[in-house]
Amino acid sequence: MAQNEPPKAPPVKEETTPEAHWVNLVQAVKTRKDQRAFASLFAHFAPRVKAFLMKSGADPALAEEVAQDVMATLWHKAHMFDPERASVATWIFTIARNRRIDVLRKSRRPEPEDLPWGPEHEPDQADTIALQQESEQLGKALAALPENQRVLIERAYFGEFSHSEIAAETGLPLGTIKSRIRLALERLRQEMN
């Protein structure tokens, strides 16, 4: 591990959104193994990953262990992060989801072939900013959904629940769940257009 270097002034990158801030921190981890940047990412995302795993059915001790593991993976895979294709939260979500499949389900996850240009290309600035703004907007749109729709979306992402398992647990008919999720997704799409 590199020594903790004094923080350099970041190159003239304006932080137009909170998302741009997280992206800069991941870049700092990637380019100069910046432990302070990592500590900031850890403070924000590690508890969220832990919560995500607990809601997916892990006990607190396992959730803690997996959250540490996910954050360590972030450090090592920082060069794979592409701010043009995903927000930092989305990228961390996919790492946590894959670890959950490994650890909780003890199963493999086939991944799509990577795009021909691979993760190493230089991201386009305009596309990156557009994606950052969309991520902010999506977060707000999700929070603004009616409670009964938002909860079902969240539970679908906590992952150990199929739609029929949500039905068994909530007592809602499967058709209602499907149409609420569909409604919620339509609303999110409208907000994004």
- Contacts to other proteins from residues 120-139, by CB under 8 A: 134-135, 138-139
CB of 63 to other proteins, least distance (A): 8
Site for other proteins in 64-103 (CB under 8 A): 64, 67-69, 71-73, 75-76, 85-87, 89-94, 96-98, 100-101
- Out of 46, 62, 167, 183, the residue judged to bind other proteins by CB under 8 A: 46
**Euclidean distance between CA atoms 156 and 142, whole angstroms:** 14
- Name the minimum Å distance from CB 11 to other proteins: 25
**17 belongs to the binding site for other proteins (CB under 8 A):** no
Q: Which of 181, 157, 43 is nearest to 100 (CA)?
A: 157
Cβ-based nearer residue to other proteins, 24 or 135: 135
- Could you give the C-alpha distances from 130 to 35, 87, 99, 122, 186, in angstroms and in order? 28, 11, 29, 16, 21
Query: Rule CB under 8 A: which of 137-166 touch other proteins?
Result: 138-139, 142-143, 153-154, 156-163
Nearer to other proteins among residue 35 and residue 170 (C-beta): 35
> Which pair of tokens denotes residue 16?
């137009």
* Cα 29 to chain centroid, rounded: 17
Helices (H), the chain: 18-32, 35-55, 60-76, 88-103, 125-143, 147-158, 163-170, 174-192
Positions 100 through 119 that interact with other proteins (CB under 8 A): 100-101, 105-115
